Each structure stands twice: as structure tokens, then as C-alpha cells.
């Protein structure tokens, strides 16, 4: 009698007393099948997009499923389909507010598409390509890499594993990886022209991580824009993409020679450090003595204490493009690397003297 067929697994109080009380038995596709009077395959088909199943049967299955509060187990499904419904996110700069924002955006975007986020936040030292196999073990549907430390080793590992990888907010010249970035060159070029037009003559650049494509492209674009305006190459210092680095960079820039009258900083978090160093430690006026322009438009950029003029990255668009690229790669058998470049938008605030819009 204990084994009477057709017993409802959702029914309470039927668990074996010896079970320990933990981990209620899960409702499976077989439970649903029994209830709907069909086979397990039918249940599977009902839950598979575009599977051959009659309208009527599907409805019956779905009804039973609803009653039992059933949904397919993604792990079991993933074992055979090799897709777990999870997307791995590699991020190692959570201390830059741009990334938590991106994380949030990825969360909702993926959730909308029925997927989940598996986060990999490797410690500073750990090589990214070590993370890749770990992610793959979980049969993730794809991998988004948002770390400044992408190397060709990673690209190579991705290629060998034939894993769908998309770089977010960075790119790799010859790695053969898809990527989504802002048009860093054009954006930086515009900043340079505007700064020059406003009469600045001693521009400087604060770089981020020397190997980061974002920093490199922003620097090149900035130099190109200055050149067009008839100005020479800017002085440059590196700030490692951190607040402290920006702070130190500003000091070095001002103490190590002629004080610049404009500083273009490769990202906002560093720019905040630059502004603080300029004002609090050097007693300079921003933008009176020196104009500061950042990149990203993180929330703090709009705070009155900073009121930072900055190049906004189209975050939501970048995120949804990234996810789309991932899906495209999953569809195609031999996907080719695609790079999507989205325009930035200048947000004029009070930290820089700029010509009227």
C-alpha cells in the first residue's frame, strides 16, 4: 500500500518517517506524466520550444504541471542537452561601480531570457584562463568576460574548448573572440576636440591598466583628437583603474612638471580620485584651474561633490548586445567572431570647461 501507484508526491505527510525531514522529494516529469496520463517524453516535449506535440496534449501536460507546480530540472536537462541555462560572468573589478551596475543589468537581461548568472570573481592574482574550464564544467550556455585581464591565453583556451565567449567592455585584437564595446576611440577623440576648442593647451591623460583595450583605445583617440586640434601628445600617467591610482596620478601629473589645464581620465572611478587630489591635496580649482573629464558615468559622477563631466557608456544596450551575441553563437555551428561597437554620449557637468553644446 505504501507503493500504491498514482500517489501524489506533492501531498504532504507522506514522506517516509526515516527520511530525516530534509529535502522534500521533488516533483519529476514522471509525476506529471502519470497525472496527465501520458508518457514522460510527452512532458519533455511540452516543455521544449518547438517540439512536435499536439496542441491538445501539450495543454493537458501543462495543466498537470501547473497543478503539481512542476518545472523541468535544468541540471538534469543540462546533462543531456549540455546547456544548463546558466551564463558565466567573469568579473574581477567589482570595486569599480561600473561593474556592479553591469552585473545588475546582466542579471535582469538574462533573467528575462530564462537564464541565470553564475558569477566568477577571481582574486587579483588568479589567471582568467583557469576559470574557463571551471565554468565549462557547469555546462554554462556561454561566458561573458568583463575583466581587464583578458589575454590571448584566454582566447586560446576558449577556442580549444569551442566555448561561446563574449568580451564585455573590452576587446582582444587577434583573439578571434566576439566583443561588445563602446566606441572608445571616437568618444575620446571628441573629448580632445572639445577640450582643445575650449582653449585648453596642456592636456594630460590618466591611463587605466596598460594592457586594457579600453584604456589603450581611449588614449589613442584622445591623442588623435588633440593632434587634429593642432596640439601635441598629452602627458600621461597610469592610474590602474582605481580611485587610489587616480589620486596618485593627479599628484604625479601636477608635481612632476607643468600643471595640466585639462585631464582626461580613462574611467570615472579614477577621475574621482583625480578630482579629490586636485582639490583637497593640491588646492586647485576644478574646473577653474583644471578641467577633468571621465568615462563611464557611474552614479557617483553625478554627485554634487564631483559633478563630473564624463562620457557615458550605453550600459543597457551593451549588455543586451552581449547576451544577443552569446545566443547567436549558440545557434550557429561555426560562429564567427563579431565585434559590436556602440556610441558613447557626453554628459556635460561642472568639472570641465567645454564649448557650449
Residues in contact with DNA by the rule CB under 7 A? 25-26, 28-30, 38-45, 47-48, 52-54, 56-58, 70, 72-73, 76-77, 79-81
* Contacts to a copy of itself from residues 217-256, by CB under 8 A: 243
* Contacts to a copy of itself from residues 99-138, by CB under 8 A: 99-101, 103-104, 107-108, 111, 116-123, 133-134, 137-138
Q: What is the DSSP string of 222-245?
A: HHHHHHHTT--PPEEEE-TTSHHH
Closest of 213, 261, 215, 268 to residue 237, by C-alpha: 215
Closest of 300, 235, 229, 294 to residue 261, by C-alpha: 235
Binding at 48: pick from DNA, a copy of itself, none (beta carbon under 5-8 Å per type): DNA
> Quick one: 59 or 162, whose CB is closer to a copy of itself?
162
Q: Are 86 and 117 in contact (CB under 8 A)?
A: yes
> Quick one: 228 or 244, whose CB is closer to a copy of itself?
244
SS3 state of residue 116: strand
- The answer to the question of residue 82 lying near a copy of itself (CB under 8 A) is yes
Closest of 72, 44, 43 to residue 60, by C-alpha: 43
CB of 59 to a copy of itself, least distance (A): 23
Closest of 27, 39, 36 to residue 76, by C-alpha: 27
Residue selected from 6, 13, 17, 20 as contacting a copy of itself according to rule CB under 8 A: 20
Helix (H) or strand (E) holding 265: strand 262-265
Q: In angstroms, rounded to a whole number, what is the distance separating the alpha carbons of residues 205 and 195?
A: 12
Q: What is the DSSP letter of 18?
A: G
- The answer to the question of residue 281 lying near a copy of itself (CB under 8 A) is yes
* Contacts to a copy of itself from residues 292-331, by CB under 8 A: 299-300, 303-306
Interface ranges with a copy of itself (CB under 8 A): 20-24, 69, 71, 73-76, 78-79, 82, 84, 86, 89, 94-95, 97, 99-101, 103-104, 107-108, 111, 116-123, 133-134, 137-139, 160-162, 243, 272-273, 275-276, 279-281, 299-300, 303-306, 333-334
Amino acid at each position: 500500500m505504501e507503493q500504491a501507484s498514482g500517489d501524489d508526491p506533492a501531498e504532504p505527510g507522506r514522506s517516509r518517517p526515516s527520511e530525516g525531514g530534509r529535502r522534500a522529494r521533488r516533483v519529476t516529469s514522471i509525476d506529471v506524466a502519470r497525472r496527465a496520463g501520458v508518457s514522460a517524453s510527452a512532458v519533455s516535449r511540452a516543455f521544449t520550444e518547438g517540439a512536435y506535440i499536439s496542441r491538445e496534449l501539450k495543454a493537458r501536460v501543462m495543466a498537470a504541471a501547473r497543478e503539481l507546480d512542476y518545472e523541468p530540472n535544468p541540471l538534469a536537462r543540462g546533462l543531456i542537452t549540455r546547456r544548463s541555462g546558466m551564463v558565466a560572468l567573469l568579473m574581477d573589478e567589482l570595486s569599480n561601480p561600473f561593474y556592479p551596475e553591469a552585473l545588475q543589468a546582466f542579471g535582469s537581461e538574462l533573467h528575462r531570457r530564462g537564464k541565470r548568472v553564475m558569477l566568477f570573481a577571481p582574486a587579483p592574482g588568479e589567471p582568467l584562463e583557469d576559470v574557463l574550464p571551471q565554468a565549462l564544467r557547469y555546462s554554462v550556455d556561454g561566458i561573458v568576460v568583463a575583466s581587464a585581464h583578458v589575454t590571448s591565453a584566454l582566447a586560446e583556451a576558449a577556442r580549444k574548448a569551442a566555448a561561446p565567449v563574449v568580451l564585455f567592455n573590452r576587446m582582444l585584437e587577434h583573439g578571434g573572440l566576439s566583443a561588445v564595446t563602446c566606441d572608445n576611440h571616437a568618444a575620446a577623440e571628441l573629448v580632445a576636440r572639445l577640450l582643445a576648442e575650449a582653449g585648453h593647451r596642456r592636456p594630460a591623460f590618466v591611463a587605466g591598466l596598460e594592457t586594457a583595450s579600453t584604456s589603450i583605445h581611449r588614449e589613442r583617440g584622445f591623442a588623435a583628437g588633440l593632434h587634429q586640434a593642432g596640439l601635441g601628445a598629452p602627458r600621461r600617467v597610469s592610474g590602474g583603474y582605481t580611485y587610489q591610482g587616480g589620486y596618485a596620478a593627479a599628484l604625479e601629473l601636477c608635481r612632476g612638471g607643468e600643471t595640466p589645464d585639462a585631464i582626461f581620465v580613462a574611467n570615472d572611478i579614477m577621475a574621482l580620485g583625480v578630482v579629490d587630489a586636485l582639490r583637497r591635496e593640491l588646492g586647485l580649482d576644478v574646473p577653474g584651474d583644471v578641467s577633468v573629464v571621465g568615462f563611464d558615468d557611474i552614479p557617483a559622477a553625478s554627485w554634487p561633490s564631483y559633478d563630473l563631466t564624463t562620457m557615458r557608456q550605453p550600459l543597457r544596450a551593451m549588455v543586451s548586445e552581449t547576451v544577443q551575441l552569446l545566443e547567436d553563437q549558440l545557434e550557429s555551428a561555426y560562429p564567427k567572431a563579431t565585434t559590436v561597437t556602440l556610441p558613447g554620449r557626453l554628459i556635460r557637468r561642472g568639472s570641465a570647461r567645454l564649448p557650449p553644446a
